[in-house]
Amino acid sequence: MLIAALLLASGVSPPALGYDPDRLSMLQSVGHCPDCDLSGVNLAGVNLTTHVIGGDDVDLSRANLSGANLSRTNLGQANLSGANLREANLSKAELGLANLEQADLSAADLTGTVLAGANLAQANLSGANLTGANLRGANLTGAQLAGANLTDANLINANLSGLDLSIARLCRTMLPGNYRENRGC
């Protein structure tokens, strides 16, 4: 009951299922939460800058992280499938090998973010800023990129199946086959 009161006071609302209040308390107090199950939790607008959350057992699927400040946060290998990361600040975050399938990253700041090997299939990246992002080997199958900025991004060995790159800004962008695209500079 005390944890629920603390969560409500901090603006974080727990979901009905899949949520471990002790793990969220650990994340908020020490900034580290390996093997977390925070699936479905509402962390909208929370500042988790420089926290270490990542790991292959971290479940943030369907979590609401819209507008959250996650810059320089380590979310490598985390499950963020279906998460709401709309307008989140993920600049210089570590998201290598993370599962972001069907995540909403629209208008998110992903400047300098490491997304190498990440699964972004069917993700909404409309209007996202991916300037300098490392997407080497990422799966972007069917992702939405309308208005996305991919200036200086690395997409070498990425799966771009079903993408319409004509609606994204590609300036000094490295594409599969070591091809540099300069459209939109």
- Which residues lie below 8 Å from residue 112, measured CB to CB, with a gap of 6+? 91, 92, 131, 132, 133
Extents of the domains making up the chain:
1-185
Centroid of chain to Cα 119? 10
Using alpha carbons, list the distances in angstroms from residue 161 to 28, 69, 75, 120, 135.
38, 30, 25, 12, 14
Q: What is the pLDDT of residues 52-80, one digit of tens each?
A: 676 667 888 999 999 999 999 999 999 99
**β partners of residue 64:** 42, 84
CB neighbours (10 Å) of residue 150? 28
CA–CA dist 22, 130 (Å, integer): 34
The pLDDT of residue 45 is 74
Range in 28-32, 100-104, 139-143 the model is least confident about:
28-32
Architecture of domain 1-185: 3 Solenoid (2.160)
More confident residue, 16 or 159: 159
Across 107-119, average pLDDT? 98
CB neighbours (10 Å) of residue 20? 18
**β partners of residue 94:** 74, 114
To the nearest whole number, what is the mean pLDDT of the chain?
Answer: 84
Q: What letters, b where the CB count within 10 A reaches 16 and e where it falls short, cover 22-51? A: ebbeebbeeeebeebbbbbbbbbebebbeb
pLDDT tier for residue 22 given thresholds of 50, 70 and 90: low
Question: Taking 60 as the threshold, does the pLDDT of residue 3 lie above it?
Answer: no
Range in 51-65, 69-83, 140-154, 161-175 the model is least confident about:
51-65
More confident residue, 121 or 2: 121
Question: Taking 90 as the threshold, does the pLDDT of residue 26 lie above it?
Answer: no
Question: Taking 80 as the threshold, does the pLDDT of residue 35 lie above it?
Answer: no
